[in-house]
Amino acid sequence: MDSRPSVVITGVGVVSPLGIGPESYWNALCQQRSGVDVLPAVAELRLPLRIGAAVKDFDAKQYVKPRKALKVMSREIQMGFAAASMAVEHAGWQPNQLPPERTGVLYASDMVYCEPTESVSAYGHCIEDGKFHAEKWGRVFMSELYPLWMLMYLPNMTACHIGIAQDARGPNNTICQGEASSLLALIEAALIIQRGHADVMVTGGSSSRMTATSMLYRGMNRLSRRIDAPQSACRPFDAARDGAVNGEGAATLVLEREDFAAARGARILARVTGWGTAFAPPQSPTFTPSQALQRVIEKTLSASQWSPADVGHVNAHAMGSVPDDAAEAQAIRAVLGDVPVTALKSYFGNLGASGGAVEMVASVLAFAHGRIPATLNYTDPDPACPVNVVAGESQPIQQATAAVLSQSSSGQTVCVGLAGA
């Protein structure tokens, strides 16, 4: 019998291309409304791919106090800060009422990229006679920067700002492991509670794959070419899929030790039942991404004390990649059989580090509403993806349990088990 304390979710917050706040996010999923569209700012740069899922109508001033802090917050920090504020309020905590010494923050982030326009002037001052003089760059660039510029782009600053705002004096850390980051952050946050180092952990992730710098750095080989039909571009598990779509967003979950949450009369939204992690080295001939996914699902079943039949639905990582979706589908089928599978990146694309948290929030909300959201753009089943995709319409939940999957391009693989309250 596992003697470790049970960890529960008591609040969620989300800033997504589908809407801001849990209610708007859930309504968009129910209405099957895509967040993918043409990006005017990217289109102006004449990049070959100009579609993505941007967060719309987000005003950070509504959430960030004091407002002067915005001067040192990138968009990623702003979104994460807002999602955390929502989640703490959703959990029933009043401002500054969290137990300071027993509250921590464990957050996920990608590398944060500035816009090219921020260095245009400095770059211009380094050009003479049509040539770029690298020896001038450091001195000129530093002289033109806002003195606190770097604080906008350090990946750990989202966790720092949340900790300061919530007066959370417990453990504070940041995970940067690509698409797997926010589920790995949640696992570490749960472990901190189980080790007795905190009673409350604010966890999740914030990231954006939308800046031109990020797109140029990461490349576009893995992205869909359906630029003339953006809302149908991301097609997880579909036979016509041709790649992912970039997106941005943030989600936060408040974790608490169950007896602590019960003592304060908190509403429990879900329980974290178990998890599994693995690493599939790229191009490894002996341990493939599909084998890693099988392993983390099996570990989650064991940790949760579930049989395969106990899993109510899978919230898949599927991004629309031809080989990766097939590998994931085959792993799900091998371990869980005909379990219902939903793939929410069909709505908002690859958010990067925050994707797992944004998707997990959907599973938590699905428990509350009793339905599994449908996958968009699944019209032509692929025999290479032998899974039971929830498509066309949402499905009633038969069992309030879920396995949430994430896998980074570098091989970090993770599964987290959830159960409804």
Least-confidence region, from 177-181, 283-287, 345-349, 404-408: 283-287
Task: Residue 4: count other Cβ atoms within 10 Å of its Cβ.
Answer: 11
pTM assigned to the model: 0.94
Least-confidence region, from 43-47, 122-126, 208-212: 43-47
- Tell me the percentage of the chain whose pLDDT exceeds 70: 97
pLDDT band for 403, please (50, 70, 90 cuts).
Answer: very high
Residues 6 or more apart whose CB falls under 8 angstroms from that of 295 comprise 276, 278, 413
Would you state the pLDDT for residue 46? 66
* Distance, CA of 354 to CA of 363 (rounded, Å): 15
Task: Residue 118: count other Cβ atoms within 10 Å of its Cβ.
Answer: 17
**CATH top-level class for 7-113+153-420?**
alpha beta
Would you state the pLDDT for residue 397? 97
Encoded tokens for 171: 């453990």
pLDDT band for 48, please (50, 70, 90 cuts).
Answer: low
Q: Are strands 371-372 and 395-396 parallel, antiparallel or unpaired?
A: antiparallel
Task: Residue 5: count other Cβ atoms within 10 Å of its Cβ.
Answer: 17
Torsions phi, psi for 274 (to 5 deg): 170, 180
* Sign (positive or negative) of CA dihedral 136, 139, 142, 145: negative
- To the nearest 10°, report the CA torsion of 143, 149, 154, 157: 150
Would you state the pLDDT for residue 47? 67
pLDDT at 95 over 80: no
- Per DSSP, 93 falls in state P
- 264 burial level (CB within 10 Å; 0-12, 13-18, 19+): middle
Least-confidence region, from 209-223, 245-259, 345-359: 209-223
* Distance, CA of 404 to CA of 38 (rounded, Å): 29
pLDDT at 290 over 90: yes
Least-confidence region, from 108-122, 256-270, 275-289, 328-342: 108-122
Least-confidence region, from 45-54, 76-85, 191-200, 313-322: 45-54
Q: Are 55 and 248 in contact (CB under 8 A)?
A: yes
Would you state the pLDDT for residue 44? 64
* Distance, CA of 311 to CA of 418 (rounded, Å): 9
Encoded tokens for 49: 């791919």
Would you state the pLDDT for residue 116? 74
Domain ranges of the chain: 7-113+153-420
Would you state the pLDDT for residue 43? 61
Q: To the nearest whole number, what is the mean pLDDT of the chain?
A: 93
pLDDT band for 184, please (50, 70, 90 cuts).
Answer: very high
Would you state the pLDDT for residue 336? 98
Query: 171 preceded by cis ω (within 30°)?
Result: no
* Distance, CA of 328 to CA of 404 (rounded, Å): 12
Q: For 229-232, which contacts have Cβ atoms below 8 Å and span 24 or more sequence positions?
A: 230/34, 230/36, 230/37, 230/38, 230/51, 231/34, 231/36, 231/37, 231/376, 232/34, 232/376, 232/377
Residue 10: enclosing H or E segment and its boundaries?
A: strand 7-16
Torsions phi, psi for 379 (to 5 deg): -120, -20
